[in-house]
């Protein structure tokens, strides 16, 4: 029953986003801050990728209030400063909220595991990031990509706040006024493949 309700919510939200092309605008990005008490989400907007598998994030951050009608919102977003793990380039892209800038940090890839579901024992009941200070190794998990990444960072980068290495959820929202979302979908936490279960 819960799966059918989630599927229905996804269908309704997706239909709403399609209608937004005529009646409003749609924005999408990765959440770097979420104040549940104030009902405010801050995200780094995402533009269409310039190459397959690569998202482009642009500044400035967008701050928007969640829908006044809570029924127009999916799962509450999880925030983090990690935007992208680029295994090919051996780097990660993070949002530095002190300077308000995007920062690319070089890393050394240690391991990348694909097709890892949230129910997998390797990630289930595990709080990410997992930081191994002795080896300067950091393990992060991307829900949407179903990838488990482990990489090594420089000693000075290891001292950065732990949420630097936490990947926030991707959200998509429909709005007429830029500061107020009318509908908000948590793209990361919405999986149509679960609708039939």
pLDDT digits (tens, 9 = 90+) for 124-148: 999 999 999 999 999 999 998 899 9
What are the backbone angles phi and psi of residue 108, rounded to the nearest 5°? Answer: -115, 115
Q: Where are the domains of the chain?
A: 2-78+171-191, 82-165
Average pLDDT of span 79-89: 95
Task: Yes or no: say if 33 and 73 are a contact pair by the CB < 8 Å rule.
Answer: no
Pairing outcome for strands 91-96 and 82-86: antiparallel
Task: Yes or no: say if 73 and 13 are a contact pair by the CB < 8 Å rule.
Answer: no
The per-residue pLDDT of the chain, averaged, comes to 87
Q: Between residues 131 and 54, which one has the greater pLDDT?
A: 131
Per mean pLDDT, which range of 42-56, 115-129, 131-145 is the poorest? 42-56
Residue 69: pLDDT band (50, 70, 90) is very high
pTM for this predicted structure: 0.82
Measured between its terminal Cα atoms, the distance across the chain in Å is: 9
Distance, CA of 35 to CA of 151 (rounded, Å)? 30
Distance, CA of 139 to CA of 134 (rounded, Å)? 13
């Amino acid at each position: 029953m819960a799966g059918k309700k989630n599927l229905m919510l996804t269908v309704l939200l997706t239909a709403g986003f399609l209608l937004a092309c005529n009646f409003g605008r749609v924005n999408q990005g990765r959440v770097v801050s979420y104040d549940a008490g104030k009902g405010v989400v801050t995200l780094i907007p995402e533009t269409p990728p310039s190459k397959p598998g690569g998202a482009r994030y642009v500044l400035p951050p967008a701050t928007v209030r969640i829908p006044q009608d809570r029924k127009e919102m999916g799962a509450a977003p999880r925030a983090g400063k990690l935007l992208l793990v680029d295994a090919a380039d051996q780097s990660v892209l993070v949002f530095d909220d002190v300077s308000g800038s995007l920062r690319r940090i070089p890393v050394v890839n240690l391991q990348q595991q694909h097709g890892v579901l949230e129910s997998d024992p390797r990630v289930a009941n595990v709080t990410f990031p997992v930081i191994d200070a002795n080896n300067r190794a950091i393990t992060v998990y991307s829900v949407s990509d179903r990838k488990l990444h482990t990489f090594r960072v420089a000693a000075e980068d290891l001292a950065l706040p732990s949420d630097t290495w936490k990947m926030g959820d991707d959200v998509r929202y429909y709005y007429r006024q830029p500061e107020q979302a009318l509908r908000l979908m948590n793209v990361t936490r919405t999986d149509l493949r679960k609708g039939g279960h």
